[in-house]
Amino acid sequence: MVNNIGRPARDETADYYFPYIDLVPDGDIRQLLEEQRRETLSFLETIPDALASHRYAPGKWSVSEIVSHVNDCERLYTMRAFWFARAMELPLPSFESELAVKTAKPEDRPWSTHVHEFASIRASTVDLFRHLPPEAWLRRGTASDYPFSVRALAYLTVGHAIHHMRVLRQRYL
């Protein structure tokens, strides 16, 4: 196992993603993924079912839609990381988050299923990153016409969740 993954360099993905990546504290990204899993689950489990459909303003996503989005993006980021870590060279297509949220219909499901889904996805994410060979972390590829390293995708996974949990705390609850 690599002892120090290190933070992604500015050329490991587009500037667009660094507001998320820059939210990630220093430390072993694999440990941060696991710690965030526990913290996020503890937080999500405090949200009552009655707030799942809450929107802080018209046209904004509901609490369920935000968590569905976080889950979808985590799947996406880890799929990309898997693809690039395994040295696949074909570029990957774009992801339309608005379409994904709309077609997932997250408000048609019980709140507890979103929380359980986060737990399951994150457990898989932790396993993927925990067992990457050292050379895989710096492998790169293209997705949505942007460059990504595997390391940048690991950081993006954590940073994206930090961002959305902050939004939930500050604007919804």
**Residue 104 maps to which CATH number?**
1.20.120.450
Paired strand residues for 143: 92, 146
Query: What total number of domains does the chain contain?
Result: 1
Q: 132 in a domain, yes or no?
A: yes
At 3 the pLDDT is 62
Paired strand residues for 140: 149
Q: How is residue 51 written in tokens?
A: 């707030």
Range of the domain at 141: 15-172
- Residue 81 CA neighbour count, 13 Å, CB half: 26
Q: 127 in a domain, yes or no?
A: yes
Q: 1 in a domain, yes or no?
A: no
Q: 162 in a domain, yes or no?
A: yes
pTM of the full predicted structure? 0.96
Q: 7 in a domain, yes or no?
A: no
Mean pLDDT per 10-residue interval, the chain, length 173 residues: 82 98 97 98 97 96 98 98 97 97 97 98 98 97 98 98 98 93
